[in-house]
């Protein structure tokens, strides 16, 4: 460890004889990651300065100088000419120091009635609000692509599964429409979370408010926040809004992973229900025939990271006394990583859905196995022969066993063979054993019958606003 005496911080060095050690500097810094917040930090500072001027705490000339200086810094960071310095610890001090270089004294008045504690809380809230809005657009886009594929495939029949065993005939469109609903709930959860993100902590200062005559409602308004946080101590301490974002993101990632897994299964050569485009698959370095669904597998794996990020912040917050503790600096990387991971996963899923080709004949072939109309046979026995459902289930099961014995589909059994099990059966049984009839018959609200699916898709498009200008 270097023992050389370091320069004291120009921002908080007053009561120190020396600066922190190199090791401490490395350990303590956040600039390597919180520079992500530069735009939000500048926005927050401008609003704060405007309010200070409005309240006559600083002059209007100072405000103008601060605003121009901050605009210049925004430009420098955006075009890559800004030099971030580790010795300036974080984004707040990097910007403030540069501002002083650019405009001199007015920069040193900016931090009046403010602390990095309320500043950073404001930055994260602005960041998350913006990210939630972007995620909503991305999720909606995924819904649109699912919707389009669903609409094209309301008559494309495939086995519906329970326990991944053939259950009943459904359409591929019906299956995709299930995900439109799931993603819709993810969007709702993000919107709900957004309400609690969209509250303004600025002006809470270090923890207890300030003796300057600030107007917290004005800064809240300038930054587009819906509400001013009513307790300063809570405003700087709480990160439950970030935890909530991570929990919603975790649920969303988990939902995506289910679709990803189905894509992996459907694209195996055993199923062969879909073909993924070359863009979202990779080859093997040894097996020339391979086309691996890497994109779907990665989406399947990402909840590991995102749930890890949730646990990370939950653990940081657990038992943390009010108000600020440096522990809270550790909230950023899990948040940034979650946003990045989730956003790219949704986009890739969306593109994969758009590009995938559907193999309708393989889906139909699969319906020839596993007796997907056995329930329809039982229902027929109830309707036609007034059997109690439990008895009908039993008889249908015996007929399934007979078909297995003869290695044929139910609809290929001879009537006289079926009559040995249930003498009252007649020719009309063949109507219900047909795959298409079985699918069409499930026309109850939310069922798989193509006409019903079309109605529900039309309604979903309105409910989720999927036919907007973006189409």
Give the shortest CB-248-to-ligand ARG separation in angstroms.
Answer: 22
User: Is residue 112 within 8 Å of residue 45, measured between CB atoms?
Assistant: no
User: Is residue 372 within 8 Å of residue 166, measured between CB atoms?
Assistant: yes
Give the shortest CB-191-to-ligand ARG separation in angstroms.
Answer: 27
Structure tokens at 263: 């894509």
Structure tokens at 367: 């319906």
Annotated catalytic, 371? no
Annotated catalytic, 163? yes
Which residues make up the interface to ligand ARG (CB under 6 A)?
A: 30, 34, 90, 116-117, 120, 324, 326, 328-329
CB atoms within 10 A of CB 154: 23
User: Is residue 197 within 8 Å of residue 408, measured between CB atoms?
Assistant: no
User: Is residue 371 within 8 Å of residue 382, measured between CB atoms?
Assistant: no
Residue 316 backbone zone (phi > 0: left; psi -120 to 50: alpha; other: beta): alpha
At residue 44's C-alpha, the angle toward residues 42 and 50, to 5°, is: 100
- Four-residue CA torsion sign, 368, 369, 375, 379: positive
Give the shortest CB-20-to-ligand ARG separation in angstroms.
Answer: 12
DSSP assignments along 50-90, one per residue: HHHHHTTSS-HHHHHHHHHHHHHHHHHHHTT-----GGG-S
- Four-residue CA torsion sign, 399, 401, 406, 409: positive
Closest CA to 446 of 183, 200, 181, 264: 181
> Nearer to ligand ARG by C-beta: 326 or 390?
326
User: Is residue 359 within 8 Å of residue 272, measured between CB atoms?
Assistant: yes
User: Is residue 186 within 8 Å of residue 247, measured between CB atoms?
Assistant: no
Q: Where are the alpha helices (DSSP H) in 198-302?
A: 216-222, 232-237, 240-266, 294-301
Rounded CA-CA distance 288/278 in Å is 14
Catalytic residue among 163, 211, 285, 444: 163
Rounded CA-CA distance 117/295 in Å is 40
Catalytic residue among 60, 284, 361, 467: 284
Q: Among all residues, which ones are annotated catalytic?
A: 163, 284
């Amino acid at each position: 460890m270097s023992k050389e005496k370091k320069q004291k911080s120009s921002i908080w060095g007053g009561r120190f004889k020396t600066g922190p050690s190199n090791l401490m500097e490395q350990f303590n810094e956040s600039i390597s990651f919180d520079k992500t917040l530069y735009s939000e930090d500048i926005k927050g500072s401008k609003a704060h300065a405007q309010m200070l001027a409005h309240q006559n705490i600083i002059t209007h000339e100072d405000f103008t100088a601060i605003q121009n200086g901050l605009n210049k810094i925004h430009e420098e960071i955006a075009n890559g000419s800004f030099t971030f310095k580790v010795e300036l610890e974080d984004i707040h001090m990097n910007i403030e120091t540069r501002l002083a270089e650019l405009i001199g004294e007015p920069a040193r008045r900016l931090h009046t009635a403010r602390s990095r504690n309320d500043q950073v809380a404001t930055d994260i809230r602005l960041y998350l609000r913006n990210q939630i809005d972007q995620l909503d657009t991305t999720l909606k886009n995924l819904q649109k692509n699912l919707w389009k594929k669903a609409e094209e495939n309301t008559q494309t029949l495939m086995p519906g599964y329970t326990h991944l065993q053939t259950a009943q005939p459904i359409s591929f469109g019906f299956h995709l429409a299930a995900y439109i609903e799931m993603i819709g709930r993810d969007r709702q959860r993000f919107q709900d979370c957004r309400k609690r993100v969209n509250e303004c902590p600025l002006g809470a200062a270090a923890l207890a408010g300030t003796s300057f005559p600030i107007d917290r409602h004005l800064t809240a308004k300038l930054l587009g926040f819906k509400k001013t946080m009513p307790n300063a101590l809570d405003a700087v301490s709480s990160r439950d809004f970030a935890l909530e974002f991570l929990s919603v993101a975790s649920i969303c990632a988990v939902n995506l992973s289910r679709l990803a897994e189905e894509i992996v299964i459907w694209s195996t050569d055993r199923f062969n229900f879909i073909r993924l485009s070359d863009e979202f698959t990779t080859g093997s370095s040894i097996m020339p025939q391979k086309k691996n669904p890497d994109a779907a597998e990665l989406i399947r794996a990402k909840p590991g990271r995102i749930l890890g990020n949730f646990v990370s912040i939950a653990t940081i917050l657990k038992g943390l006394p009010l108000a600020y503790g440096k522990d809270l600096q550790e909230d950023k990387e899990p948040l940034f990583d979650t946003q990045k991971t989730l956003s790219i996963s949704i986009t890739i899923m969306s593109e994969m859905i758009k590009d995938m080709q559907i193999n309708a004949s393989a889906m139909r072939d699969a319906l020839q196995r596993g007796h997907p109309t056995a329930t329809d046979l039982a229902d027929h026995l109830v309707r036609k022969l007034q059997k109690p459902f439990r008895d009908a289930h039993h008889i249908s099961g015996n007929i399934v066993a007979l078909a297995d014995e003869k290695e044929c589909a139910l609809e290929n059994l001879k009537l006289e063979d079926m009559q040995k099990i249930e003498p009252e059966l007649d020719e009309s049984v063949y109507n219900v054993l047909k795959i298409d009839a079985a699918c069409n018959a499930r026309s109850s609200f939310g069922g798989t019958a193509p006409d019903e699916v079309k109605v529900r898709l039309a309604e979903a498009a309105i409910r989720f606003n999927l036919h907007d200008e973006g189409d």
